[in-house]
A and B are shown apart, each in its own frame.
Chain A
Amino acid sequence: MQTAERTVAVAVDQLMKRFGDVPVINGVSFHVASGETLVLLGPSGCGKTTTLRCIAGLENPTAGTIRIGETVVAGDGALIPAHKRRVGMVFQSYALWPHMSVTENIAFSAQRQAALSSKQARARAAGMLDRFGLKRLGERKPGELSGGQQQRVALARALAGDPRVLLMDEPLSALDPQLREELRLQLREAVAESQLACVYVTHDQEEALAMADTVCLMDAGRIVEWGPPKDVFEAPRTLFAAQFLGARNLLPIRVGSREDDHRWTGNVDGTSDGRLSFRTVPGVEVNEGREATAVWRPSAARVSMIRSDGAANSLPAEVVAVLYLGTQSEVALRVFGSNTVVARTRLQLKKGDTCWLELDEVDLLAYPKANA
């Protein structure tokens, strides 16, 4: 991975972790600079939380090194325990201590980690409460707070100890969707304001894109894709990344001819009339005359009752199921025999209707079959 030009606050190099014989992290490396947020994104069991826990000192790596600032905290014969690493961490469950008040929760971290006196720690906690709009809740116990308030207390506690790095393990996953969107903004602002390096773990691609300066997509203990959110989202280099980032629709194709560097034509595999125009992202090659997989996001496709003249790709389709979603419907469509794909539309369709599925060339990405 590229090293940021700013001061590197966290550096993970060739990190490996095994639980017994099972490898959970397999050679993960990345750097995070001060003021930068790196998001570890991936499905359950891909190793993202274990990576975060290794940085925090809650798991001991099997191999590799972890630096926080200039200090090697794990590897090269060093193993600094969690409480001496000066990290702030927001847990998925928030992990607020139920027997302590909100103020005591926040002051605990200020007192232990920032080595403040009891009085100073309480003053720091009061400041944090003010900053996060929790001023009147200081004497309450965590059980008396809403989910959103608990989340903010957890963040305040993580920041109260003057950490060198902020770690967040799916901090929004326990909240309802509306509150999640609100708090996403607040989190982003708080992290930017603190100018801390932040490592953020989530399985939600939308949350990852919103929070990240750099996204690292993980699969089976490895980083398979990384880069700025826009690049990763718009030009995923693997079929796995494309699928994980929302390209749910797959169609087997046979590659025809190359139009230019990244533009191609071809056919739906096994047909002669399903002509397609698609693109490949830089670094991904398909071969003329060979099988490949075309993918696209449901939101990228249009459904129409009559074939449009200017569409790059028009596929005849039959509606097999309709899910009403309010402002629009999600329809499952059968295209070219047994291929079922999904699209969103405002049209009032019902099972058995025939229609056209239209896609712009730029939205249809192809990957070689081996990559699948």
Chain B
Amino acid sequence: MLGLAEPGSVPLALISLAFVALIALPMIFTVYGVLSASPPGSPFSGLSLAALHSVYGGTRYLPAIRTSLLIGAVTAIAGTFIGGAFAWLLGRTDVPFKGLLRLMLIGTFGLPPVLSTVSWVALLAPGAGFLNVLFDGLFHHQLMNIYSLPGILLVTVFVFSPFAYLILAGPFIAVSAEEEGAASVHGANLLRVLRHVTLPSVWPSLVTSAVLLFVISAQTFSIPLILGEPARITAVPEHMYRGLISGLDSPAETTAIGTLLLWPGLLAFVWALRSSRRAGLLPRTSRATRGEGMSLGRLRYLAFALAGAYVLVTFATPVVALVLGSFLKYLTPHLSTSLLTLGNYRALFGQSNARLAILNTILMAVGGATLGTVVSLLLAYSISRFRSWISTLANVASILPLALPRLELALGFLWAFTALPVVNRYSWSLPLITLAVIVGFMGIGVQTLVASLTQLSRDLDESASTSGAGFWTRLLVITTPLLTPTLVSVWRTFFILCVLEVDVVIFLYQSPSVTLSVLTFVNLDQGSTAMSFPLGVAQLAIVAAMVILSSGVQRLLRVRGAV
């Protein structure tokens, strides 16, 4: 273990403290915002409990809390089940065409949630959705009304399941093949092996996945907003958005509404921690070895058919609907060639606002991904190599924003940027938004890299140290090249999240910092679906180009022993 006398620990400690301060900033200002009697930017006019009393003192928000918690709970359970099933199938069994299934499942993660929602509207809108019209013709009844609570739950589960897969894929692969083999030779069938060996091994990760899905889906506002409005279903984040946009609620009350989802989020994280600690007491007797995986026998084709049908429905169908919709003069289930047009794209690229949004999105994604990856690497290195109270604090601080409602985090930053005018909020809005988005997702990058650093033998770092290499040389010449595949993966994740992020951006953007996700959402909210489809395709194209490019880079840079 390298001590604090090690040069490099001091700059790392300073970076960690700066990061902790950056996390603390929106949180402190959230508390200030809830208690402030005056709106952001106005002179201080005292503290008030009026906002808290208004939010917590009545039953006005109870239906919204119920809806948000239901969305969170259903997505956590169903999403973790689906993500876990894919992680098991692709990581532990001999199901065929694993690469194709993996690509399509991860592809779903690259679909903008807003656009996924819209494409499901195109498929399942009552009376007009492609699938509903098809079913009506065949069976004389419609498949489903997407403008309903089941519709919201269906889309939320589809959108967030790939996220569960991304969390669970690694842990499922790391399950010891020897332990599974030991159960098999002692008479356990496939289900018993799964029940008694595989699932207990990945239990902490399953809990983490469920908690993250619960928190993120309960906080998401675009899906319930688009699908819930016609059915008069509201969730907590929608109250915040409407309150702030309409100006009907005070900023303090809007901020207080956001705290409604903070408590279940924190409780879920505490449960996850306790559960992981309990699971950590399970004796692990043998080192994980990767084997061929369990044979499903003839069931492998059935498993492939089921998994293939799922990714076709969740990935291929929305993509087709999205791309097709972008070439239609107007949205209709009665297709004909006369409806096809390039006009939507011509109109899109003719707008300076849209061109600016594309440029801003790319700038934010590249800048955010790079900054996020570098800071994640430094924090992860500090956490895994220098065990000081500062690195422990940074570790906790990186996870904390994941428990915070995204809109609440954005509001915290809004209060902070307004109260602390270090830079001009208008002209610096794009870097500020990028910073806010990255801070919110930093936990994902940090924890991924901490896990990789744990896998990387400490001896490699220490042998460089005894060979005369100082801290920065070791980090840049030894550790970084060995982490290349993970770093590319983290960079790609940040990139995708920056392109797709709408929750934080919608509260903080100014006209010079409009992004594709914001423009898409605004168009949808204003009923202009024709324009939102090419905007969605543009986002999809950026994400797809980056996924292909980064996968190529990953293959090119892959080195022996890298993690």
Task: Give the B-binding residues of A (Cβ under 8 A).
Answer: 56-60, 79, 81-89, 91-93, 95-99, 108-109, 112-114, 141-143, 157-158, 161, 167
Contacts and interface: CB of A to CB of B under 8 A. Distances in A.
19 contacts: A56-B462, A57-B466, A58-B2, A83-B465, A83-B467, A84-B468, A88-B467, A91-B462, A91-B463, A93-B459, A95-B463, A97-B463, A97-B561, A98-B560, A108-B469, A112-B467, A112-B473, A158-B466, A161-B467
Contacts of B457: 93, 95
A29 to B, nearest CB: 22
Nearest to A87: B466
B331 to A, nearest CB: 52
B306 interface: no
A108 B467 contact: yes
Interface string B475-502: 0011001100000000000000000000
B469 A112 contact: yes
B58 interface: no
Contacts of A89: 463, 466-467
Given A108-B469, A113-B468, A167-B466, A81 B6 contact: yes
Given A59-B3, A82-B465, A99-B482, 18 more contacts: A56-B462, A56-B466, A58-B1, A59-B1, A81-B5, A83-B467, A83-B469, A86-B468, A89-B466, A93-B459, A96-B463, A97-B463, A98-B460, A99-B481, A113-B468, A143-B561, A158-B466, A161-B468
Given A79-B5, A81-B5, A81-B7, A97 B466 contact: no
A58 B462 contact: yes
A95 B462 contact: yes
B183 interface: no
B468 A57 contact: no
Interface in B145-161: none
Nearest to A89: B466
A157 B467 contact: yes
Nearest to A60: B3
Contacts of A86: 468
B104 interface: no
B5 A97 contact: no
A83 B2 CA distance: 11
Contacts, number: 96
Interface in B1-48: 1-3, 5-7
B481 to A, nearest CB: 5
A100 to B, nearest CB: 8
A193 B478 CA distance: 30
Contact of B466 (A83, A93, A143): A83
A157 B460 CA distance: 13
B482 A82 contact: no
B478 A97 contact: yes
A141 B3 contact: no
A292 to B, nearest CB: 41
Contacts of A96: 463
B552 interface: no
Contacts of B3: 59-60, 79
B385 to A, nearest CB: 11
A99 B560 contact: yes
A258 to B, nearest CB: 52
Contact of A97 (B6, B7, B460, B465): B460
Contacts of B103: none
B223 to A, nearest CB: 43
Nearest to B8: A81
Nearest to A88: B466
Contacts of A157: 463, 467
B459 to A, nearest CB: 4
Contacts of B468: 83-84, 86, 109, 112-114, 161
Nearest to A167: B466
Interface in B423-462: 457, 459-460, 462
A113 B469 CA distance: 7
B470 A98 contact: no
Nearest to B3: A60
B473 A91 contact: no
A198 to B, nearest CB: 14
